[in-house]
Amino acid sequence: MRGDVDATHVDLLPEGLVARSTAGRLLRPMEYPAETRARRERELADAQAKLDAAPSDADALVWYGRRLGYLGRFRAAIAAFTRGIELHPDDARFWRHRGHRWISVHDFARARTDLERAAMLVANRPDEVEPAGLPNARGVELDTLKQSVFYHLGLACWLGNDAEAAVTAWRECVKHSNNPDALCAVSHWLYCALRELGRVDDARAVLAPIRADFDIVENEAYHALLLVYRGEKRADELLAEVRAKGSASNDFASVGYGLAHLALVDGEREKGLALLCEVASAPNWAAFGCIAADAELARRVSKRALAPGGENPR
């Protein structure tokens, strides 16, 4: 290995870079506010100590890999989860989390393979809470293992340009989305996929359970997008709200991509492409909205139209 880059990719990336995006951008290490980085470094050190004390322990390996990922050390996280798979091949958590981190580095085919394996492993087994690595303000657990597996599997399929498979995975995810936050997150992506496929009535049906008065803990952006899709919130006002939070915010990535895709499926190509360019070039490049915007550009714009150095035409 060289740094956090796994051996299979070492010859593909210049020194000091993390990944090459789907549209060809060279992605540098993620930056975090000093306080955030310091806290996550402490959490990683604690995870490292627990792993050192029990090198084969599944829980210790899972958390060590997760803590690496929260610091943007995606290749090192992949290596940790790979070690977990070698030691505990039937533990779906390692396949689920490695799949997530393959998404982070834009390797959607590997992500899909891992997440399909995770889906097989969780089938016919009781679901379980997936503890939050980055707790929300209320300290409420929102995710389960099955919900996370099918959510990320849908993303891997969608980003890999297989909307039909994404719909299948996300419909399964809905079955395990037991709170408004989880339901809003998956419903946004499912709506996008169905609109992409031209299944307007099915997309409209996805919106039926969504209510404006949902008690949302952390997925406000997805909830707001769904209200836009329902015609209960103005798209321009929502975009202004998230732009005010800054281009590095997760809300800007999520909302920006959602509204860009909405413009595209509504026939507003230039508007949609311009917003995709804005989101794809945001500094928070590991956010799912940024990854999706980049992948969408790669699909919809020829690579010749992408300017060198990672810049897109506005």
Q: Which amino acid is at 150?
A: F
Going by pLDDT thresholds of 50, 70 and 90, the confidence category of residue 303 is very low
Does a structural domain hold residue 104? yes
- Tell whether the model's pLDDT for residue 2 goes beyond 70: no
- Tell whether the model's pLDDT for residue 7 goes beyond 60: no
The DSSP 8-state label assigned to residue 266 in this structure reads T
Enclosing domain of residue 24: 1-125
What is the predicted pLDDT for the residue at 300?
86
Give the model confidence (pLDDT) of 168-222 as tens digits.
999 999 999 999 999 999 999 999 999 999 999 999 999 999 999 999 999 999 9
Does a structural domain hold residue 86? yes
Number of domains in the chain: 1
- Tell whether the model's pLDDT for residue 310 goes beyond 60: no
CA dist., res. 92 & res. 130, Å (int): 12
Q: What is the mean pLDDT of residues 13-25?
A: 89
Does a structural domain hold residue 34? yes
Does a structural domain hold residue 102? yes
What is the b/e burial string over 173-211, where b = at least 16 CB atoms within 10 angstroms of the residue's CB? bbebbebbbbbbbbbbbbbbbbbbeeeeebbeebbeebe
Place of tokens 């321009």: 236
- Tell whether the model's pLDDT for residue 5 goes beyond 70: no
Whether this model's pTM surpasses 0.85: yes
Does a structural domain hold residue 177? no
Are the C-beta atoms of 104 and 84 separated by less than 8 Å? no
Give the model confidence (pLDDT) of 269-281 as tens digits.
999 999 999 999 9
Q: Closest Cα to residue 84, out of 101, 70, 112, 64?
A: 64
Residues, the chain: 314
Chain centroid, CA 137 distance in Å: 20
Give the model confidence (pLDDT) of 223-282 as tens digits.
999 999 999 999 999 999 999 999 999 999 999 999 999 999 999 999 999 999 999 999
Tokens of 265: 């499926």
- Tell whether the model's pLDDT for residue 98 goes beyond 90: yes
- More confident of the two residues 8 and 87: 87
Rg for the chain, CA atoms, rounded: 19
Does a structural domain hold residue 208? no
Rounded to 10 degrees, the C-alpha dihedral 25/27/28/31 comes to 120
- Tell whether the model's pLDDT for residue 12 goes beyond 90: no
Give the model confidence (pLDDT) of 52-66 as tens digits.
999 999 999 999 999
What is the domain-level CATH number for residue 28? 1.25.40.10
Does a structural domain hold residue 249? no
Does a structural domain hold residue 73? yes
